[in-house]
Structure 1
Amino acid sequence: MTKVPAQRIDNALIDRNAVKTMLERRIPDHTLEQPFYNSEALFQLDMEEIFHKEWIFAGMSCELPKRGSYITVDIGLSPVIILRDNKDEIRAFHNTCRHRGSKICLAAKGKTPKLVCPYHQWAYDLDGSLVYNGQDMDESFDRSTHGLASVHCQVAGGYIFVCLAETAPPIEDFVKDMEYYLEPHDLYNSKVAVQSEIIEKANWKLVVENNRECYHCDGSHPELLNSLLEWDDNNDPRATPEFKALVEKQQNFWSGMDIPYQYQMRYDNRNRIVRTPLKEGTHSMTMDGQAASKKLLGRITSPDLGALRILHLPNSWNHGMGDHHIAFQILPISPQETKVITRWLVHKDAVEGVDYDPENLRHVWDATNAQDRTLSENNQLGVNSMGYQPGPYSKTYEFGVINFVNWYCERMKENLG
């Protein structure tokens, strides 16, 4: 009989030193100790050392079509405004008034010529400068020193990333990669046709771990496997001769259309991009495997582009096809709750009901997201047990999970100092 190990750190005693101790003693290629998945104190450290210091996927540039368009995103307890200013530049600010700190933009999205705080009507221009502060401030008040606090913001291939840190980590190479691989898709001239939000009652790391392997796919995702192949790399030890032949055939086809497909990994597993075939005879992640939108993206002339898989840790994975693009975003809410946002993008000129049917567009991933929610929530329930102890990952089927956990642990070590 396997005994539950006695060496545990009481959740009430979790602090920076306790986390360092657990990171130092962790078993390679194993799941993490229980507090990493359910401790309130460790969750707060995740927010401080990962989500407040790394680049976070926040939205798509096509969601800001005009000057004054804005979207909002809450990164833990830090709300952020992202907008298109009067110079057509995309900028980000902390969504908190410089008067008494009220949240300014309360809606998820909108359009406005000025940002006006609903509490006392202090108003800010789209460059963040304070332009109105009421009538009751005395002559010593300096309006120029009370603009909105800015947030690092970077647009890459139509994606918007923000970083709350004072000094943001490098992202330049990833930006170049995103522009290069997404150029044929031209997501700058796309639109969000459908968006969903679900709450998974699971720690954000369990949600990512579930995404980073398809070990569970055969038993859990019948809709997805109508089109998706379980592996995306010739170096995968499970890759069959038939898969390798399909890859060679499709890469020759893509080369003829000047479509990039090469495997690319950046920043110690943080970013990963590769174009890989879907099942032969399928062109899109739909129930019948056929294109969901008649109007293809960008300069694409064939729907047979496989799937451009993009990973950005800590909070996004993506599938780009010839006819539509799917962007996934996660935002931690609590130690055991994670918001999962899915955006389905099509060409900006595609007409609903003519070029695409929203239900057909979203059917496969609505089903898959629901299935993944059940898997992650059951995983959380088991991890919460007093009987839980770190278990081994399969190096064959779960190498993507190993890569994620290694990245997380290295970033935590470095950021904790």
Structure 2
Amino acid sequence: MTRQAVRLQSGLQTPLQIRLQRSATSNPIEKEKEEHSVIDLAHVRSLLEARRSGHSLAGDFYTAPALHELDIDAVFSNEWLFACNVAEIPHAGDYVTLDIGKTSVVVLRDKDGGVNAFFNTCRHRGSLLCTEPQGHAKRFVCPYHQWVYELDGSLLSARQMPAGFDRDAHGLHPVHVEVICGMVYICIADNPPDITRFKAAVTPYIAPHRPERTKVAYSETLVEDANWKLVIENNRECYHCVGNHPELLATLIEFALPDDPRANRDFQLLMQEKTALWDSLGLPHLPADGGTEFRCIRLPFHRGAVSFTSDGRPACKKLLGDFTEPDIGSVRMFRVPNNWNHFLSDHIIHFRVLPLSATQTVLKTTWLVHEDAVEGVDYDIETLTQVWRATNDQDATLVAHNQRGVSSKGYRPGPYAPSEFMLTNFADWYAGKLATYLEGLPSRHAPIRLAMAQA
């Protein structure tokens, strides 16, 4: 596991702290080669046909470089992906970049305060424009031959090009953007799937927390030694929590549903009390109908706890939105394929997952507080981040061990426990996405190259 932690203060995009650490649990599995993988589609189809719902996936889905590229093509290149919160790009010219396989995208704040996204490649000869994960620019200047682009993607100048060169025809290629309560989603497909159902369903839950009126208090990036699906699966269940997450379970109740059959009488009474409070405050709490695509629900903390802190007290004195009551539980929101979140009364945590290779995943965690909160007065970084930084470290070790295990010749898919119903949902969704994608490809037994290179 590699960690890069960047501390941001007062909304600034300049890193105040960068920390790199190599974990003792580094994955010894040989790193994949960089050339295009060759995949036997008949083999993938046979794996999907042999899959049993309610069981983990076959080992190749977690380990094969060719299937990693298939995931990029079939899933990440065709789905809406969480990119950032607008608080990460508060000023005109602020930008973040993210890599979707070999495709780099830049997301930026334009001069009018809107959010744009473009393929991060110069229209001259294809060089990367922005080479850092985040930054600020009045205009984008290609480092190779200094073509200059405005924040709206239009080409401003291209030195030494001949008379008659059409600058209007050489602006940056746009990427689809949707901003939902300050959360920025992007899609690099030509024809993105409909996101309106998701937007309509989750907005009533998260809008009261005002994510768009926050600032970044702290952000860290972990490179975890596991396939992205193992990282998602680990998050989608708390079966492992009692044996691995003491800091988290000091405040978090592991039950995933209000009527969880494992719940005891104390939890049932707590739910009755909290639902009455939430109803009086006009806060939705019943599970949103997201099928296998997304999940959104409000659940309580342990009695007496109001936040993800070691003692359960608020991590930030200045509450979000118009909240005056800190004890409102948390909204847990997840959306395939790359994001989960916690919305509390005093802070928000976004988690963003992006595949790096078949056996490595980039997890970015961002803690946000009220835009007017003052560090050292309203909150301190250690109290705010302690629980989930510990949890992230513990999970990184767990998924690295999981990756080692599914790479073994002795691995066979195993059954999910009843409490792991969200893993069944995820695996069913994933298998369905691959099956649909493969329907549009040649039905032949000969290996083919995945179309990763742009024409």
TM range (shorter): over 0.9
Which residue of structure 2 aligns with residue 233 of structure 1? Answer: 257
User: Any idea what the Cα deviations from partners look like across 1:291-343, whole Å, max 9, x if unmatched?
Assistant: 00000011111110111000011111111110111111111100000011110
Match of 1:72 among 66, 75, 97: 97
- Contact persistence 2:295–2:335 (CA under 8 A): yes
Q: How does 1:9-408 map to 2 (within 5 A)?
A: 14-134=39-159, 136-266=160-290, 268-394=291-417, 396-408=418-430
Distance 2:419 2:365 in 1: 25
Which residue of structure 2 aligns with residue 415 of structure 1? Answer: 437
Distance 1:221 1:318 in 2: 18
- Contact persistence 1:283–1:306 (CA under 8 A): yes
Say which is worse superposed, 282-291 or 83-92, in terms of deviation.
83-92
Say which is worse superposed, 174-183 or 75-84, in terms of deviation.
174-183
Distance 1:416 1:159 in 2: 31
**Structure 1 position 390, deviation (Å):** 1.0
Relative contact order, higher structure (CA 8 A, sep 6+): 2
SS in 2 for 1:223: helix
Structure 1 stretches of 4+ moved >6 Å: none
- Contact persistence 2:148–2:158 (CA under 8 A): yes
TM-score, normalised to structure 1's length? Answer: 0.94
Distance 1:106 1:21 in 2: 40
**Structure 1 position 140, deviation (Å):** 4.0
For the aligned residue pairs, the C-alpha RMSD in angstroms reads 1.3
Which residue of structure 2 aligns with residue 7 of structure 1? Answer: none
Distance 1:283 1:138 in 2: 64
SS in 2 for 1:404: helix
- The one-letter amino acid of 1:294's match is K
SS in 2 for 1:72: strand
SS in 2 for 1:398: helix
- The one-letter amino acid of 2:297's match is V
Distance 2:169 2:202 in 1: 36
User: Any idea what the Cα deviations from partners look like across 1:72-104, whole Å, max 9, x if unmatched?
Assistant: 111111111111212221110000000011100
- Structure 2 unaligned residues grouped into runs of 5+: 1-36, 440-455
How many residues align? The count is: 403
TM-score, normalised to structure 2's length? Answer: 0.86
Percent identity of the aligned residues? Answer: 46
- The one-letter amino acid of 2:181's match is G
- Structure 1 unaligned residues grouped into runs of 5+: 1-11
Say which is worse superposed, 82-91 or 366-375, in terms of deviation.
82-91
**Structure 1 position 109, deviation (Å):** 1.9
- Contact persistence 1:233–1:239 (CA under 8 A): no
User: Any idea what the Cα deviations from partners look like across 1:111-168, whole Å, max 9, x if unmatched?
Assistant: 222111111110111111111011x212342111111011011101211110111100
**Structure 1 position 349, deviation (Å):** 0.6
- Contact persistence 1:36–1:42 (CA under 8 A): yes
Which residue of structure 1 aligns with residue 8 of structure 2? Answer: none
Say which is worse superposed, 171-180 or 22-31, in terms of deviation.
171-180
- Contact persistence 2:202–2:288 (CA under 8 A): no
**Structure 1 position 13, deviation (Å):** 7.0
**Structure 1 position 258, deviation (Å):** 1.9
